[in-house]
Structure 1
Amino acid sequence: MIRCEIRGENIEVTQPIRSHIEEKVAKLERYFTNVPNTHAHVNIKTYSNKKGKVEITIPMKDLTLRAEEKHEDLYAAVDLIIDKLERQIRKHKTKINRKFREKNPEADFFAAAEAVGLAENNKSEEDDDSIDIVRSKKFQLKPMDSEEAVLQMNMLGHSFFVFNDRETDGTSIVYKRNDGKYGLIETDENL
């Protein structure tokens, strides 16, 4: 069962909003043969320009689903996000089925498309799934702190930068977020 943890910023999460989100997220359960016992983390924000932003993240054992949408109508935003999450699930399912056709335990993680009454155009989804690596680079990771990595990233005009963190001696990544701020991803070999 997928349970919803709903949090609102600058908005009170009313019962109708909560019910709508829980109902829509519950529809995702039909894609799984064994419904995962997990939480959907839902964040709702409203801005002064009357637009709202809804984010839904569903971490599972083999897959993390995440989507966000900005819209004036929160109900419409939730509907659009559920569509995005369904596309992510179908895309992942197509990859799993193509990669592990012979006796793989992951293959039955997803319910059969026919069982849930979904018509998929497998050819178009397989075309969408093709991953073409068009360029490859090798470079040495230089020890630096995260502030220096952000400066290097901006100087190069990239949206992310991989470096060897001087403090932790591990590989880290800084990246530019959609809100214009920066994020840091650190590796931990103990996990």
Structure 2
Amino acid sequence: MAQLKLNLIGDGIDLTGAIKNTLEEKLSKLEKYLGDDERREVFADVIVRKEKYRSSVEVVIYNVFDHTLRIKKETDDLYTAVDYVVDAAEKQLRRLKDKVKSASKKEAQKHKKQITLVEEEVVEKPIEIIEVEPELYKPISVEDAVMKLLGSNREFVVFCNVETGNAAVVYKRKDGNIGLIQMPSCR
């Protein structure tokens, strides 16, 4: 768990041992939200101000998941301000930690999907080329070729056109019509 290093600053108030102990004790609860990296140190400036009848506590936490958090509360009682600041800091740190966790989970899932896709590409069955003998033996008319196409579950028919003597193709178009491709003479 990352460790929180505190820098206690008193502005208009002398920080007694009781105040320092209270701040250190309450702010140590925040360490559980700082991450699991024990080598990383997180620094926090704690500024305690006293002006007449008002007390304020400001906490600035640096280097928390590459963010800086600033929380400031002002009340009549110093210890109440400390409680408010600790609660607000805990809420912000929890939210930030959850955000970082969910972002890392999304990144891991994205990486996992990429690996899965690569595995699927490797496992794919190779494409086989199956030779089909065209029906060019006896020339037929375009109308007969269309009837042959409509009478089968094929997508195209290659035939020898009786009118031109050249190869031709009739095929089913996506718009529901029939297409005709006339081949030029190969001779």
Q: Compute the TM-score of the two structures, normalised by the length of structure 2.
A: 0.51
Identity across aligned pairs (percent)?
31
Separation in 2 of the partners of 1:98 and 1:54?
31
Task: Flag the structure with higher strand content.
Answer: 2
Is there any run of 5+ residues in structure 1 with no aligned partner, and where?
A: 105-191
Match of 1:19?
Answer: 21
Structure 1 counterpart of 2:28, one-letter code:
A
Structure 2 counterpart of 1:15, one-letter code:
G
Match of 2:12?
Answer: 10
Match of 1:167?
Answer: none
Report the 3-state secondary structure (helix = DSSP H, G, I; strand = E; otherwise coil) of the residue aligned with 1:17: helix
Match of 1:155?
Answer: none
Structure 2 counterpart of 1:58, one-letter code:
I
Separation in 1 of the partners of 2:106 and 2:47?
39
- Cα distance, 1:57 vs structure 2: 0.6
- Deviation per CA, 1:110-131: give whole Å up to 9, x if none: xxxxxxxxxxxxxxxxxxxxxx
Asked whether 1:46 is paired with 2:55, we answer: no
Report the 3-state secondary structure (helix = DSSP H, G, I; strand = E; otherwise coil) of the residue aligned with 1:33: coil
Task: List structure 1 segments (4+ residues) > 4 angstroms apart after TM superposition.
Answer: none
Match of 2:63?
Answer: 60
CA contact (8 A) 1:9 1:45 kept: yes
- Cα distance, 1:76 vs structure 2: 1.3
Q: Compute the TM-score of the two structures, normalised by the length of structure 1.
A: 0.50
Within 5 Å, which residues of 2 pair with 1:71-110? 71-102=75-106
Match of 2:32?
Answer: 30
CA contact (8 A) 1:58 1:66 kept: yes
Separation in 2 of the partners of 1:98 and 1:40?
25
Report the 3-state secondary structure (helix = DSSP H, G, I; strand = E; otherwise coil) of the residue aligned with 2:87: helix
Is there any run of 5+ residues in structure 2 with no aligned partner, and where?
A: 109-187
CA contact (8 A) 1:55 1:68 kept: yes
How many residue pairs get matched?
A: 103
**CA RMSD in angstroms, aligned pairs only:** 1.7
- Cα distance, 1:102 vs structure 2: 4.2
